[in-house]
Amino acid sequence: NAGVTQTPKFRVLKTGQSMTLLCAQDMNHEYMYWYRQDPGMGLRLIHYSVGEGTTAKGEVPDGYNVSRLKKQNFLLGLESAAPSQTSVYFCASSRHLTGGNSPLHFGNGTRLTVT
């Protein structure tokens, strides 16, 4: 039982390049989330999904797109990377929507640097 798996672990992009971060969970969770973590700030929600085929904007969605074509996968895309997107990205999943009676399960993070 792997839990939540994120790939890649590290990536360096040049400004304007694109990439996709993949998140996979094997717990049959309905809810999945993408967060970013920046120094001196708490985790911030980028986008989330309440089930296969659904996505919704979080607190800081600009510059990112997401897709949830399969229940177990949640993809985060950067179409044209900017230095402001240098961050550590975490994927998470939960059985119920955050605030309900279920904890969050996190991936190990992706450290992205945009030069």
Partner 1 sequence: KNEVEQSPQNLTAQEGEFITINCSYSVGISALHWLQQHPGGGIVSLFMLSSGKKKHGRLIATINIQEKHSSLHITASHPRDSAVYICAVSMNLGLGGSQGNLIFGKGTKLSVKP
90 binds partner 1 (CB under 8 A): yes
- Which range of residues in 15-23, 64-72, 74-82, 97-105 is near partner 1 by CB under 8 A? 97-105
Q: Does residue 92 contact residue 32 with C-beta atoms inside 8 Å?
A: yes
Instruction: Give the footprint of partner 1 on residues 46-75 (CB under 8 A).
Output: 48, 50, 56, 58-59
Taking the C-alpha atoms of residue 44 and residue 31, their distance in angstroms, rounded to an integer, is 16
Listed ranges 12-20, 22-30, 39-47, 78-86: which one lies at the site for partner 1 (CB under 8 A): 39-47
What whole-number distance in Å separates Cα of residue 80 and Cα of residue 77?
9
- Please report, for residues 13, 34, 91, 103, the alpha-carbon distance to residue 99 in angstroms, rounded to integers and kept in the order given: 35, 16, 17, 9
Would you count residue 1 as binding partner 1 (CB under 8 A)?
no
Among 1, 14, 28, 41, binds partner 1 (CB under 8 A): 41
